[in-house]
Amino acid sequence: MASSNTVDMDPDVARRLFEEGATLVLLGVPQGTELGIDCKSWQVGPRFRGVKMIPPGLHFLYFCSVNSPSCGGEIGPKTGLFLNLKPRQILLANWDPKEEDLDFRASQDEEEVNRTRENLRDLDPFLGPYPYEVMRKWVSFTDRLSEEVANSLQPLSGRICAFSDVIPELQMKHTKDRAEQPRNDTACQSMKEGLDRLPRMKQREGTELRFSVIPKKTYPPGATPAEITQCSLDLSYALETVLEKNYKLQPLNLLGELQFAFVCFLFGNVYEGFEHWKQLLTLLCRSEEAMRKHKELYLGLIAVLYHQLGEIPPDFFVDIVSQDNFLTSTLQDFFQFASGPGVDGTLRKRAEKFKAHLTKKFHWDFDADLDDYAPVVVDLPEGVTVD
């Protein structure tokens, strides 16, 4: 690996990680491949054989294959996976040039693992040390994310890809199937016609991120128009639905999903992760009743956001068309609800400090006039009318 910005490690910490840390032995990774673990990535050099002295626990390994300079040196899409490493564990993987992926099947061969352990001293000069200087940051990004939650959200394929692996909905193996499709040998008369001619695609089974489904209807069945309006202003019903379905026994695991989505976006370049992160954040910040009920969930949310927002440029959330800032408008609702009646005193004070911190750091104005009297457009259930 090409190393940079390394810091001197405490000798006792280094000794402990050398003795108890896990090792990733990654053989055959092409020179020039971008490879990272947690918060740091490198370009693989000719001597690279893996990473050593990895603190036990949950980690995110990611990589981008690179064409040789003679073929343009283009970088492929990023692929990542979460790994839960145990003390002194050795994971073996071989680079598969056809799939441009790491094949971990060698890790299932006990004899091969034992042979590697015996030869670890010979391998040591070819193993890069875990970037200990970013470990504290990594822990702050994943302290609510358990192995169980990560495994439940990760695709069944075990790989998180920056670009979706899509296939046509219709395979069109037979001439008859192809004959029924729109012709492409004449000019399109409209954008709609052009779009209709494109084959319909779907994500390959097993490659989908398994995020919690956010309800499209934010109100209960049989709700009156007044209740529908209330549930569009206070998303507590939708939030409770998500918690009941996915995290009934451990509501705080929803924060783990928020962290999972953020890591997928920040380090894995998965745009779907960013969109889900925004959806979850909207759900949490605009649930007034839930804020009074789930004190620990919201105290945890403040801590999670404190670390996440330190990594993103302040203008990142500004819509390039409307110039609206998604984050300031969402957090504005959060701070308003947190100062409302019935909210726990500790949560109220923590929210006030967080608001002051963000105002000072990003110069965001959370006290701008709220659109209290702006009309709220809601979808009524079929058959319900308002006179």
pLDDT tens per residue, range 276-294: 999 999 999 999 999 999 9
Query: Contact at 8 Å (CB) between 104 and 158?
Result: no
Instruction: Provide the token pair at 103.
Output: 């094949």
Rounded CA-CA distance 154/161 in Å is 10
Query: Contact at 8 Å (CB) between 66 and 76?
Result: yes
Rounded CA-CA distance 19/214 in Å is 44
**pLDDT tens for the 387 residues of the chain, in order:** 544 344 567 788 778 887 899 999 999 999 999 999 999 999 999 999 999 999 999 999 999 988 766 666 678 889 999 999 999 999 999 999 999 999 999 999 999 999 999 999 999 999 999 999 999 999 999 999 999 999 999 999 999 998 776 567 776 665 665 555 666 667 777 777 666 767 776 767 778 999 999 999 999 999 999 999 999 999 999 999 999 999 999 999 999 999 999 999 999 999 999 999 999 999 999 999 999 999 999 999 999 999 999 888 767 777 655 557 788 899 999 999 999 999 999 999 999 999 999 999 888 888 876 554 344 444 555 665 544
Phi, then psi, of 23 in degrees rounded to 5: -130, 135
Instruction: Provide the token pair at 78.
Output: 């990023």
Per DSSP, 380 falls in state P
Phi, then psi, of 26 in degrees rounded to 5: -120, 100
Q: Rounded to 5, what percent of the chain is helix, strand, coil?
A: 40, 15, 40
Query: Contact at 8 Å (CB) between 51 and 90?
Result: no
Rounded CA-CA distance 233/221 in Å is 17
- Three-class SS of residue 352? helix
Chain segment 169-228, per-residue pLDDT in tens: 776 665 665 555 666 667 777 777 666 767 776 767 778 999 999 999 999 999 999 999
Rounded CA-CA distance 305/286 in Å is 15
Helix-helix angle 326-338:271-285, to 10 degrees = 30
Instruction: Provide the token pair at 192.
Output: 């709609």
Question: Checking DSSP bridges between strand 50-54 and strand 40-43, what pairing results, if any?
Answer: unpaired
Cα dihedral 117, 119, 122, 126, rounded to 10, equals -50
Give the chain's length.
387
